[in-house]
Amino acid sequence: MDINSALQVLRDPFGLPFYAWMFQGLLVLTFTLHILVVNLAVGGIAVAMYCHFKGGEYRRRLSRALAQASTINISVAIVLGVAPLLFVQVIYDPFWYASNSLSAWWAMAFLLAITIGFLSLYVFYLKRQKDPDAWGGYAVLSLVAVVAAGVIISALSVQALVPARWLEWYAGCGRLNTTGTGLYYFEVGRFLHFMVPAFINIGIFMMLYAWYFRPRPDHDAGYLDWVGRSGARLAKVGLMVEIVTGFWWLLTLPGNLHFMRNPYMWAGAGLGLVLLGLFYRAAGNPDRFALPLAFLSFVIVLLMSVARELLRMGYLGLYNYSIYDYKVNVDWGSTALFLATFVLGLVIIAYPLMVVFKLGRGTLKEPR
């Protein structure tokens, strides 16, 4: 039996409840939102830890703020991470389940690492509220645990793309390896390509922080100026590093995928250069550029998410596998209910978000 035949057998015999393009589109969108919040969580923990150990009035104050924000970001990242994972399981089920079965212990370790990372961060945040000089080891533990979780999920994702090597990993030593303790494939360039932007996006977040609190008279203008300028510098350096790591990963990809011709990748790279130019201009006035930079960063990550999905299709196309060949049994009822719930949820959450935004900025008018 060839690889394509084996993959067809591993597919869900009931097929898809709706057309694959919808699940693929939602996968790209939800992954974009997920990785952005992951960047904010990882970058926030790293900067909070650095500022805590470095010391100084402004740094300690920023450390407390980012520690609090990061507890929220890591929670949102976990929730948003469920969505793209579910869509992957729907349209790429043979690959994801095979990879997780080969490294079952690591898949469980991922959940443990996320739990340790979140709890350690929360302890760090609570201790900082009571004692600014509290031990910072919890922040270190949180960052190590979250990065370890990223390494595991990145390895599982890459293992899923090379079904030609599954048999080698499962029975390559002359006996069946059913322990699930192996982690077989990891690409450093790919991992850094997704992790280095944590410093870009947390830098933009710091610029947004300065812009957001500017109207409030109880916030020191000097402190906000320092946060905004520091964020712009951090994001600029992070983007320079990202350009290097991005092209490093690009050059390690198999040539038969022809990814150098991908228009979405080059569009994202072009916008990245625009972003770099804006960071240089933002150094003098971070507040003015905070919102445009945040929007541009979202667009770039979205384009890179599209390119990532096309790259995955390219990998699987080497085995003549396409998600568009999946049997479809349209279930209009469940699909309509899902979409209606999704839209209604966005509408319902919009109002409290608007209220919280105005309340935190001190611009909410009291009722007469």
Domains with residue ranges and CATH for the chain: 3-330 (1.20.1630.10)
- How far apart (Å, rounded) are the C-alpha atoms in residues 15 and 86? 15
**Section 41-56 average pLDDT:** 93
What six digits make up the tokens of 106? 């690591």
**Section 14-27 average pLDDT:** 91
Closest Cα partner for 41 from 76, 65, 81, 83?
76
The pLDDT of residue 179 is 84
pLDDT at 367 over 50: no
pLDDT at 8 over 70: yes
The pLDDT of residue 49 is 94
Residues with Cβ < 8 Å from 92, sequence gap 6 or more? Answer: 160, 312, 316, 323
3-state secondary structure 84-104: HHHHHHHHCHHHHHHHHHHCH
- The pLDDT-based confidence of 283 (bands split at 50, 70, 90) is confident
Which residue type does 5 have?
S
pTM flag (> 0.75): yes
- The pLDDT-based confidence of 366 (bands split at 50, 70, 90) is very low
Lowest mean pLDDT among 127-136, 155-164, 174-183, 343-352: 127-136
- How far apart (Å, rounded) are the C-alpha atoms in residues 283 and 277? 10
What six digits make up the tokens of 21? 């393009």
The pLDDT of residue 305 is 93
- The pLDDT-based confidence of 368 (bands split at 50, 70, 90) is very low
Cβ pair 146, 71 in contact under 8 A: no
- The pLDDT-based confidence of 363 (bands split at 50, 70, 90) is low
pLDDT tens digits for 325-360? 888 888 898 889 988 988 887 788 788 878 877 777
pLDDT at 134 over 80: no
Instruction: Measure Cα distances from 87 to 16, 93, 124, 307, 319 in Å.
Output: 11, 9, 34, 17, 21
Compute the mean pLDDT over every residue in the chain, rounded to the nearest whole number. 89
pLDDT tens digits for 189-219? 999 999 999 999 999 999 999 999 988 887 8
The pLDDT of residue 226 is 95
pLDDT tens digits for 61-105? 999 999 999 999 999 899 889 889 999 999 999 999 999 999 999
- 16 DSSP β-pair partners: 328
pLDDT tens digits for 246-268? 888 888 888 888 888 888 888 88
pLDDT at 51 over 60: yes
The pLDDT of residue 122 is 92
3-state class (DSSP) for residue 239: helix
Give the CA diameter of the chain.
80
**Section 15-20 average pLDDT:** 89
- The pLDDT-based confidence of 10 (bands split at 50, 70, 90) is confident
**Percentage of the chain exceeding pLDDT 70:** 97
The pLDDT of residue 178 is 81
Closest Cα partner for 294 from 363, 227, 204, 212?
204
pLDDT tens digits for 104-129? 999 999 999 999 999 999 999 988 77
Lowest mean pLDDT among 9-13, 221-225, 317-321: 9-13
- Where is 314: in which H helix or E strand? helix 286-317
- How far apart (Å, rounded) are the C-alpha atoms in residues 114 and 132? 25
- How far apart (Å, rounded) are the C-alpha atoms in residues 123 and 283? 34
